[in-house]
Amino acid sequence: MMIGDIGLGGVALLLILLAAASIRILREYERGVIFLLGRFWKVKGPGIFIVVPGIQQMVRVDLRLVVMDVPSQDVISRDNVSVKVNAVVYFRVVDPQKAIIQVENFLDATSQLAQTTLRSVLGKHELDDMLAERERLNVDIQQILDAQTDAWGIKVANVEIKHVDIDESMVRAIARQAEAERERRAKVIHAEGEMQASEKLLQAALVLAQSPQAMQLRYLQTLSNIAGDKTNTIIFPMPLDIIEMLAKPRA
């Protein structure tokens, strides 16, 4: 009887251990890809369910957003400037079946694809575009990555270029270029101001030429303005019409 009891107890213990090994619990953000005798069967979760040991196997997949740093990449821009660029990629698994079956390791695959895409896209642009148009470049990289990872069941939500590191000599060259550009703009603005001033002076001269009385008033106003300065002797020419008017004998 004791041997029989031990046998029954062993079987019961074995069944309990087997049942415990068969129970799987997945959280809300997890899914289980189930294989039956090596072939894909279904995706389960979240919650509790049974996986038959030896017959079924489960691969756990996390559906949360993954934040992946893209290591610094050496990029040669279209204008032959060498820079180091790194970025961050935000993505998540939307199809657990594809993420497990279509690619060996979707995390490594996405990382490698992000690195090559970053070099490829930025290499088609000049340095000024990398510095001034990051938003557009982010969108371009995100769209390319999203299209290529769709077959892996992955959705790339966003890509952000973090740093564009430039050689020190190139930084000095850019500073000189910016200074030259500021000087050019200052000269253009000054020339435009001179042009506008000359146009106004020409209009004023035409108006005064049509009215001799206005010319004389302007002449007298100028004399009044310089009369206050007593430190210098000023020789001011007098128009002939005023001299003739003063020289006429009074009746």
- Which residue segment(s) compose the domain that 24 sits in? 20-63
pLDDT in tens, the chain (251 residues): 444 555 677 777 777 777 777 888 899 999 999 999 989 999 998 988 888 888 899 999 999 999 999 999 988 888 888 889 999 999 999 999 999 999 999 999 999 999 999 999 998 988 888 888 899 999 999 999 999 999 999 999 999 999 888 877 666 666 677 778 778 888 888 888 888 888 887 777 777 667 666 666 666 666 666 666 666 666 656 555 656 655 666 55
Q: Do 75 and 82 meet the contact criterion of CB atoms below 8 Å apart?
A: yes
Domain boundary among 36, 63, 90: 63
Domain boundary among 132, 166, 200: 166
153-192 as b/e, with b when 16 or more CB fall inside 10 Å? Answer: bbbbeebebeebebeeeeeeeeeeeeeeeeeeeeeeeeee
The phi and psi torsions of 236 (rounded to 5 degrees) equal -115, 120
The reply to whether 206 falls in a domain is no
Residues 58 and 87 grouped into a single domain: no
pTM: 0.65
Residues 72 and 53 grouped into a single domain: no
Rounded Cα–Cα distance for residues 234 and 229 (Å): 9
Residues 26 and 108 grouped into a single domain: no
Residues 70 and 162 grouped into a single domain: yes
Residues 51 and 75 grouped into a single domain: no
> Which 8-state DSSP code applies to residue 28?
T
Residues 84 and 149 grouped into a single domain: yes
Instruction: Note if the bond before 212 is cis, omega within 30 degrees.
Output: no
Residues 77 and 43 grouped into a single domain: no
Domain boundary among 134, 166, 198: 166
Q: What is the pLDDT of residue 81?
A: 83
Q: Do 76 and 82 meet the contact criterion of CB atoms below 8 Å apart?
A: yes
Residues 46 and 77 grouped into a single domain: no
Q: What is the pLDDT of residue 118?
A: 93
Specify the number of domains making up the chain.
Answer: 2
Q: What is the pLDDT of residue 1?
A: 47
Q: What is the pLDDT of residue 229?
A: 61
